[in-house]
Amino acid sequence: MTEQDKTDETLDESAATKGEATEQPAAKAAEAPKVAAKPAAKPAKKEKEPAPPGGPPTAVVEQKRVPGSPVVSRRRVLQIGIWGGIGAAVAAMGASFVDFVYPRNVSGFGGTVSVAAVAVPSPGQKVQVPAGRFWLVNLTEEQGGPGLLALWWKCPHLGCTVPWKPNFVWPDPTTGADTKGWFRCPCHGSTYTHAGVRVFGPAPRPLDTMDLKIGSDGRVTVNTGDVTPGASDNPERAVRI
């Protein structure tokens, strides 16, 4: 073997040795266990929003009261005062209206009027009672009684006050004889008997009568709010004493 051949052989071995050395690290690298990759960081959790209050959509949620705070606000107190005052005023007006339409315990005209026993006229006589706007008449049998009758002094024609004319003479329709003493309206001449029955004039009916009661002590009570339209049966309405 020549010197040249030894040199070439040495070079070939060196190259082979380097090739093996190069392959070993690559194989080791291939045989090395794989390391698992770290998972990516998770995003931070969002805070949960508070759940809406339960109940229907129209439910009112009362706020928690802070200790020391007023139970009712100043505005609420003012509202209660204003609306309470308005309500009281309306109630007062309503009560006044009811009391006006339906009066209670009223005395005088529109209510009850009392006539003492000593002031009651004797049979055949009559007395004017201004407080009740009526004539209290004590009828005899000849006048259609006997008994007491309360005649409203307002003429049914136009409302004129009808006076008693003791000296006025007019023919009695039942006998035709002139008779002295009649109720005579000064406005249009309507003429009435002792019992208020119309005998002449434009009045559409006899004088109206009022409810009358006689007490055990002789006192007469007339309810001027209880009026009955006059008619030919006025004498029959007389209350016996």
Stretch 113-130: mean pLDDT, rounded? 94
Instruction: Write down all domains in the chain, each with its CATH number in brackets.
Output: 112-237 (2.102.10.10)
How much is the average pLDDT of 66-94?
78
pLDDT, tens digit, for every residue of 8-54?
Answer: 555 555 554 555 545 555 445 445 455 555 555 566 666 666 666 55
Q: Tokens for 56?
A: 């229907």
Rg (CA), the chain: 60
Q: pLDDT tens digit string along 33-42?
A: 555 555 555 6
- What confidence score (pLDDT) does residue 70 get? 60
At 187, is the secondary structure helix, strand, or coil?
coil
H or E segment to which residue 7 belongs: helix 3-31
Name the residue type at position 154.
K
**Rounded distance between C-alpha atoms, residue 154 and residue 45, angstroms:** 99
For 198-207, b where at least 16 C-beta lie within 10 A, e where not — what string? bbebebeebb
